[in-house]
Amino acid sequence: MTQDVRKGIMTRVYVVYLGILLFGLAVLGRAFYIQNFEKTELLEMAKKQEMQVFPIEAIRGNILSDDGTLLAVSVPIFELRMDLVADSLTDEVFKNGVDSLAICLAGIYKDKSPMQVKDKLWEARRNQERYFLIKRDVTYPELKKIRRFPIFKRGRFKGGLMVIPQWERELPYKSLARRIIGYEKGEGDQKIYVGLEGKFTKQLEGIGGSRMMRRAGGSNWMPVDIESQVEPQNGLDIVTTIDIELQDQSEAALRKELIADSADHGCLVVMEVQTGYVKAMVNLGRTKKGTYEEVFNYAIAEANEPGSTFKLASFLVALDDGKVELNTPIQVGNGIVYFAGHKIQDSHPPTSSVYTAQQVFEKSSNAGTAKMIYGIYSAEPQKYIDGLYRLGLNKPLNLQIDGERPPYIKNTKSKYWSDLSLPWIAYGYEVALAPIHLITLYNAIANNGKMVKPLFVKEILRNGKAIQTFKPVVLNPQIVSPSTVQKAKILMEGVVLRGTGTAIASPIYRIAGKTGTAQLAQNNRGYNQGTKNVRYKGSFCGFFPVENPRYTMMVVIVDPKKGKYYGGAVAAPVFRQISDRLYSKQEDILFPFKKDSVNSLLPFANAGMQSDLNEAYSTLGYNINKVDVRALWTQAVPNENKIILYPQAVSRNLMPDVSGMGLKDALFLLEQMGLNVVVNGRGAVVNQSVKPGTLVNKGMPVVLDLEGPKAKAKTQT
């Protein structure tokens, strides 16, 4: 090897050595810099990778019925993990208990044998796992059982069992009132709530807390430093206006009718007259399986043409404008009238070519209503529309629940206004209203003209104490004049007494309402596509009892397919079922007077047949005021210089109140019902063993205690 070659090799070696030296110096320099200048920052970064703050979800508040019954509640479920190197979990303790623990855990796993569970536990022990997953979604009863397992029964620090609570929403009544209560939809960032759960989610969800967690391997994290944990503030509770018993009864009645009619869907709303509290709201739609479930809130979100129930609005406008009276004659001819070349026809031929306005309403004459409104307002159609607007029918109600479909009342300035619009709107077409809008109007008439907002929530509670109360909201103190209100009540009661609603007339209490039958449009193909394709909506809206309205109710049945589709045939019977139940169970409706003082003020039995009481008191010179001249059984109540005869509720299967009756009347009434009556004493009935309103069966024993008038003490002079 020549001298030059050797020299070249050595030069390259020196260069490599120099490069290595410089690299080493750079590493040492960087280490020195990190140690002295970046140490704190990098340590913080390392901590963030191994430790993180995780949110703690607050317990969502409960949703309650009007009497405090739970409608939606957050129930605890647990995730169980095990710290296999807990300080007090010695090798001896683990070895002696692992076999028994594996057998117990295999019983809850069901898909693993005791040997497989044992192997997993030993493997986790060898790996010194401090956050080993035992089971997710454990219920509280299961947790109580697992806490008694070998090793685990030693507790958190001696047995290593770690319990991580989570919360799951549960509806104790399952699907009952589900669309009102609401539920969770979607997951993660896409999760939303509907119904009251959605509208009041800020109040219900509370304020979350936080805890520090350390990575325990992979994607598992375990809590540390419990003292630094920020506890969550649990959500508030919401008290609804819903009567859960009435909701159950209403759903059963509506479902039964939907099944009988093979209808597509239906809804039912019960509202308290003075407060606007919605006591029941049922929405049932046919599923693909053919069952009926709460799949959509039809009562507030389905706004379409109401049909004849809208006639009340037309009559209110005409009456309040002074353009018509109840006895105003209306030419109905043969029940067919033409406007702009289109036919408007009554569902049944009229019994006379001339009806009074009252008969037009009671018989639900489409031709008569259209002619009446057209005759009054054809020169100024906007005046009629303005009248509808005064009733508030064009304004949304801004309910305590999301999903309300805004009402639509066409204006004459609309490009869609035509020569047909005025007569069609008159009887409920070319408008769109949801059932909640119509029942609000009807409720205003029941409430003597005061329109109140429908309410679903009446209180918000924190720890059982009310922090916010929702009082009745008056939307309009007087939608029409008091005289118009009284005329409207006469019209509506006439529907039940003489018109399209006679099938639900009650001999016990008075009902006022209006039937409705609307032909549904076939998408964009109009209404008449042959009899096989015609779809109808039957409805009934009304209130009771007429003399002291307590409840307003609306029932809607959509697309019945068993031959009957008129509102009086499909919707009104459901109304009557629920009104009967309400009437029989509300003692302050049945007996709006104090009975305690009656016997001391009246000379003899104060209850019985109206004809007998009327004759007896008239003979004695009393002035008589009959609340309901049709009532068979009545209760006599003194009022200054007159006797008021209140109607007594008598139903075939419900125990009547016979207190105050003489023995003859009480025996006659109860034995007609097939009851076995046992009598103690003489005089008038002062006590009965079966409470009024109780469901009774033939042969049921009833004990009556009778007592005669007490003799007045003689005074010495």
pLDDT in tens, 233-289: 889 999 999 999 999 999 999 999 999 999 999 999 999 999 999 999 999 999 999
Q: Is 503:511 a contact under the CB 8 Å cutoff?
A: no
- Structurally, the chain folds into a number of domains equal to 3
Q: Return the number of other C-beta atoms located less than 10 Å from residue 671's C-beta.
A: 12
Looking at the fold, whether 493 and 608 belong to one and the same domain comes out as no
Q: Is 556:265 a contact under the CB 8 Å cutoff?
A: no
Q: Mind listing the pLDDT tens digit for each residue in 61-115?
A: 999 999 999 999 988 888 898 888 887 888 889 999 999 999 999 888 878 899 9
Please name the helix (run of DSSP H) or strand (run of DSSP E) that holds residue 579, with its range, or none.
helix 572-585
Domain that holds residue 674: 593-707
Residue 539: name the closest of 453, 442, 405 by CA: 442
| Pairing status of strand 676-680 against strand 701-707 | parallel
For residue 389, name the pLDDT band (cuts at 50, 70, 90): very high
Enter the tokens of residue 387: 């009248």
- 142-148 contact pairs (CB < 8 A, 24+): 142/108, 143/78, 143/80, 146/80, 146/104, 146/108
Residue 318: name the closest of 392, 365, 386 by CA: 386
Choosing from 587, 619, 644, the residue where a domain stops is 587
Residue partners of 704: CB distance under 8 A and separation at least 6 = 658, 663, 666, 677, 678, 679, 680, 685, 687, 688, 689
Which range, of 170-179, 180-189, 455-464, averages the lowest pLDDT? Answer: 180-189
Is residue 49 a part of any domain in this protein? no
Looking at the fold, whether 575 and 610 belong to one and the same domain comes out as no
- Return d(Cα 271, Cα 279) in angstroms, integer: 6
Looking at the fold, whether 667 and 605 belong to one and the same domain comes out as yes
CATH code (residue 618): 3.30.10.20
For residue 590, name the pLDDT band (cuts at 50, 70, 90): low
Is residue 151 a part of any domain in this protein? yes
Looking at the fold, whether 334 and 215 belong to one and the same domain comes out as no
Q: Is 332:368 a contact under the CB 8 Å cutoff?
A: yes
Q: Mind listing the pLDDT tens digit for each residue in 322-346?
A: 999 999 999 999 999 999 889 999 9
Choosing from 587, 616, 637, the residue where a domain stops is 587
Is residue 182 a part of any domain in this protein? no
Enter the tokens of residue 348: 């049944």
Using alpha carbons only, give the angle 116, 120, 126 rounded to the nearest 5 degrees.
145
Torsion 263-198-451-414 (CA) sign: negative
Is residue 717 a part of any domain in this protein? no
CATH code (residue 426): 3.40.710.10
Is residue 254 a part of any domain in this protein? yes
Looking at the fold, whether 317 and 405 belong to one and the same domain comes out as yes
Looking at the fold, whether 398 and 250 belong to one and the same domain comes out as yes
Q: Mind listing the pLDDT tens digit for each residue in 511-558?
A: 999 999 998 876 555 555 445 578 899 999 999 999 889 999 999 999
